[in-house]
Chains A and B, each alone.
Chain A
Amino acid sequence: MYGNDFGPPDEGVDQVKDPDRDTAHADAAAAALGEGLLGEVAAAEAALAEAAGRTVGRAAADADEAALQAYFDAVIAADQKIEPRDWMPEKYRRTLIRQIAQHAHSEIIGMQPEGNWISRAPSLQRKAILLAKVQDEAGHGLYLYAAAETLGITREELVEMLVSGRQKYSSIFNYPTLTWADVGAVGWLVDGAAIVNQVPLCRCSYGPYARAMIRVCKEESFHQRQGYEVLHVLGHGTPGQRAMAQDAVDRWWYPSLAMFGPPDADSTHSAQSMAWKIKRFSNDELRQRFVDMCVDQARSLNLTLPDPDLRWNAQRRAYDYTQPDYDELMRVISGDGPCNRQRMAFRRQAHADGAWVREAAAAYAAKRASDREAVPA
């Protein structure tokens, strides 16, 4: 998903505490940190191909539910992928539909904060880059809607759940982009946090989602870098430009940390999603990984992260840092962020305004089809 900042599930999917999750995940995250995120995407792609070569045996064509469940479990244990027409537990299906849908909605709503600056980008090149980035986000939304549809839900239902507010999108997009530097901060921090969240999803047990995420992650790294470059230019520019960049980082830092969701200690994080290999790391593991990445990157920007307590902890081999304001996160999730109403109103308006295009395309297709019937070859 884009982040874990969606709020409670809307379909009654059980979330249970996971008391004895081992520390292997944290070690893996720390080990992987040095290798670069794109390397991890490539590794996930290779692992997908490799696992496909393993034999898992087969379930008989007339297998009963227990046998089907056993086969499903074996496929997951072998790190193979579940495919759309495979038998799967109903809760697995519903969990995935909700997660992929909310991820797709986030990509779609996520076009708005940056779209805000396309007409005011400071140069033609920046404008072309920003257009390409926002177009990518539309593409990500569409890959993900297509992946969700393989689970037996229609595009119309998915769109309806977003515009009616029945399903959420990532809370980060309820913050405003006040200056041009915000475009840089969003690319660096918001896309950066999204990548940290999304790279493990390249190994998700559901095939269409994993494949969509591999595609998405390869494209995301350009998003993060263009944002970083925007900030780097400003951070080494005039005092006024540097101040503008610092202000943007100051405003986006904590909301970006909140993208990883509530802390593990008082979060209901889903042991089931871990067991199904949908989720691979806890919220705090991913957040720590993101903080550790950003510290050095901020230094090169000539900017500081707005946390006086940020310091290296030699014992943990990680940075200690101040947690984001989780009460604020809860307020934004429940609809009280700075831009919630604006984002939804804009999305509804855009959907309604596009109706004539969809109708015209359908009418044209119908006319062409009847023309072809009327003139036999």
Chain B
Amino acid sequence: MTGQTPTPAEPLWEVFVRPRRGLSHGHVGSLHAPDAELALRHARDLYTRRQEGVSIWVVPAAALTASSPDEKDAFFDPAADKVYRHPTFYDVPEGVAHL
């Protein structure tokens, strides 16, 4: 054993894959790579070994801004009491079609 050579930590990248033409890119996981180019290659090898995608995005995890520290909070509350934004809120008179 030659001992542990300290290597600088490689940045973390979030990986998004478009499964097929016509679908949006979806988050599939993350990986470490020294730069964007290698991150793309690693993402191809790690997340698309079985043709899971036709396009890959890699984004530095540090560049993501998240809405809140939790997956739930008052940030989304303003939408909760606006039921009139949904078509089901309205009564349609009987017999009226194409509405």
A131 to chain B, nearest CB (A): 12
CA distance A142 to B30 in the complex (A): 9
CA distance A146 to B38 in the complex (A): 17
Q: Do A149 and B71 have beta carbons less than 8 Å apart?
A: no
Q: Is A349 an interface residue (CB 8 A)?
A: yes
Q: Do B72 and A58 have beta carbons less than 8 Å apart?
A: yes
**Number of residues on chain A facing chain B (CB within 8 A):** 41
CA distance A204 to B72 in the complex (A): 20
Task: Please give, as numbers and ranges, the residues of chain A lying within 8 Å of B73 by CB-CB distance.
Answer: 58-59, 61
1/0 contact trace for A60-71 toward B, CB 8 Å? 110000000001
B11 to chain A, nearest CB (A): 9
Q: Do B5 and A355 have beta carbons less than 8 Å apart?
A: yes
CA distance A345 to B1 in the complex (A): 7
Question: With A83-B71, A156-B9 in contact, is A352–B3 under 8 Å at CB?
Answer: yes
A120-179 interface with B by 8 A CB criterion = 132, 135-136, 139, 142-143, 146-147, 149, 154-156, 160, 163
Q: Do B29 and A212 have beta carbons less than 8 Å apart?
A: yes
CA distance A155 to B10 in the complex (A): 9
CA distance A136 to B2 in the complex (A): 28
B54-77 interface with A by 8 A CB criterion = 66, 68-74
Question: With A146-B29, A365-B35 in contact, is A352–B49 under 8 Å at CB?
Answer: no
Q: Do B30 and A149 have beta carbons less than 8 Å apart?
A: yes
Q: Is B12 an interface residue (CB 8 A)?
A: yes
Q: Do A155 and B32 have beta carbons less than 8 Å apart?
A: yes
Q: Do A85 and B8 have beta carbons less than 8 Å apart?
A: no
Q: Is A54 an interface residue (CB 8 A)?
A: no
Q: Do B7 and A139 have beta carbons less than 8 Å apart?
A: no
CA distance A219 to B29 in the complex (A): 16
Q: Is A86 an interface residue (CB 8 A)?
A: yes
Q: Which of B1, B7, B30, B69 contacts A146 (CB 8 A)?
A: B30
B1-32 interface with A by 8 A CB criterion = 1-5, 7-10, 12, 29-32
* Size category, B interface: 20 to 34
Task: Please give, as numbers and ranges, the residues of chain A lying within 8 Å of B70 by CB-CB distance.
Answer: 59, 61, 85-87
A50 to chain B, nearest CB (A): 18
Q: Is A21 an interface residue (CB 8 A)?
A: no
Q: Is A91 an interface residue (CB 8 A)?
A: no
A304-349 interface with B by 8 A CB criterion = 345, 348-349
A351 to chain B, nearest CB (A): 7
Q: Do B34 and A364 have beta carbons less than 8 Å apart?
A: yes
CA distance A365 to B33 in the complex (A): 9
CA distance A369 to B50 in the complex (A): 32
A367 to chain B, nearest CB (A): 10
CA distance A163 to B4 in the complex (A): 10
Closest A residue to B15 using CB positions: A146
Closest B residue to A135 using CB positions: B49
Pairs across A and B, CB under 8 Å, 9 listed: A59-B73, A83-B71, A87-B70, A132-B49, A135-B45, A139-B49, A146-B29, A163-B4, A365-B35
Residues of A bordering B, CB below 8 Å: 58-61, 71, 83, 85-87, 132, 135-136, 139, 142-143, 146-147, 149, 154-156, 160, 163, 211-212, 219, 345, 348-349, 351-353, 355, 358-359, 361-362, 364-365, 368-369
* Extra inter-chain contacts (11) besides given A61-B73, A146-B29, CB under 8 Å: A59-B70, A146-B30, A155-B9, A352-B1, A352-B2, A355-B7, A361-B35, A362-B7, A364-B35, A365-B34, A365-B38
